[in-house]
């Protein structure tokens, strides 16, 4: 192929750049899509063209998220389930397949936190955090992964945290669980990448959601957080719109095993 032919081919490919971010005809499953980051990312995926299933313990937020998806112009459905239980995960996946026929995108946005001095740490709370933040992610990846392997294609996005890269005082559960999610993301990317499945993560910094509201309501703690972020502001839910659509779309087809910090420079400071 000559130089001009190569340039002409590049021109054709370049013209498709924006269309590669579109998710038309795709079916997304967003776990934790009833509130916070998961709710916001559900709406972003719908705005890019996907039909979206949202899953949460329910009922709070599920109907509201689906109603917003429908207002955007896409199909939205919800399913109330405890995704720390394997049988419940199997039921979710079976229902989505029965009604939508496929699962193209999985976003694991479920999460919880418990902070307590290490020598007094409640091991019941430790187990609860591990079940929600890690076990449920493993279960969803296991069962949705089977579907995607059968399809020969899929996008899995795990929601981690900057704490997945750092320790924190009084945190024997949340930070370790998110570090494990980062390693899970890498392991699945290695195993499933050759089979057409991209597995990546997003690691937000402190964002104004329910899980952070108590901490950020303390002026001194909020001031400390802002002092660590070079961009000098907290994360906003909309800051995840671009990253989640990118990782869910064909625009990221050669991105695999990466956890993308969306942190205003926190980890680089």
| 107 Cβ contact partners less than 8 Å away, ≥ 6 residues apart | 28, 29, 30, 31, 33, 38, 41, 42, 45, 157, 159, 244, 248
Q: Of the listed 53, 78, 79, 174, which one is catalytic?
A: 174
Active site (annotated) includes residue 264: no
Cβ neighbourhood burial of 57 (10 Å; 0-12, 13-18, 19+) = middle
Residue 158: count other Cβ atoms within 10 Å of its Cβ: 25
Burial 60-84 (b: 16+ CB within 10 A, else e): ebbeebbebbeebebebbbbebebb
25 exposure class (CB count in 10 Å sphere: 0-12, 13-18, 19+): exposed
Q: Which residues are catalytic?
A: 174
């Amino acid at each position: 192929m000559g130089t001009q032919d190569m340039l002409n081919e590049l021109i054709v490919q370049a013209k498709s750049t924006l269309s590669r971010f579109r998710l038309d005809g795709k079916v997304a499953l967003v776990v934790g899509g009833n509130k916070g980051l998961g709710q916001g990312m559900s709406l972003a995926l719908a705005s890019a063209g996907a039909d979206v299933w949202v899953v949460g313990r329910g009922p709070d937020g599920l109907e509201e998220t689906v109603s917003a998806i429908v207002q955007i112009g896409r199909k939205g459905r919800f399913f109330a389930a405890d995704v720390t239980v394997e049988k419940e995960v199997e039921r979710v996946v079976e229902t989505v397949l029965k009604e939508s026929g496929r699962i193209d995108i999985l976003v694991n946005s479920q999460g919880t936190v418990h902070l307590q001095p290490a020598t007094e740490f409640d091991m019941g709370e430790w187990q609860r955090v591990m079940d929600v933040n890690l076990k449920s992610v493993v279960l969803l990846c296991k069962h949705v992964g089977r579907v995607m392997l059968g399809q020969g294609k899929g996008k899995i996005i795990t929601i981690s945290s900057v704490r997945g890269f750092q320790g924190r005082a009084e945190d024997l559960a949340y930070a370790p669980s998110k570090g494990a999610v980062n390693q899970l993301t890498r392991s699945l990317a290695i195993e499933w990448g050759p089979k057409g499945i991209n597995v990546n993560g997003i690691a937000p910094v402190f964002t104004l959601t329910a899980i952070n509201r108590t901490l950020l309501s303390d002026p001194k703690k909020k001031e400390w957080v802002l002092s660590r972020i070079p961009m000098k502001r907290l994360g906003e839910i909309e800051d995840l719109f671009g990253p989640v659509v990118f990782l869910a779309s064909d625009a990221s087809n050669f991105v695999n095993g990466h956890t993308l910090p969306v942190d205003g420079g926190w980890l680089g400071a």
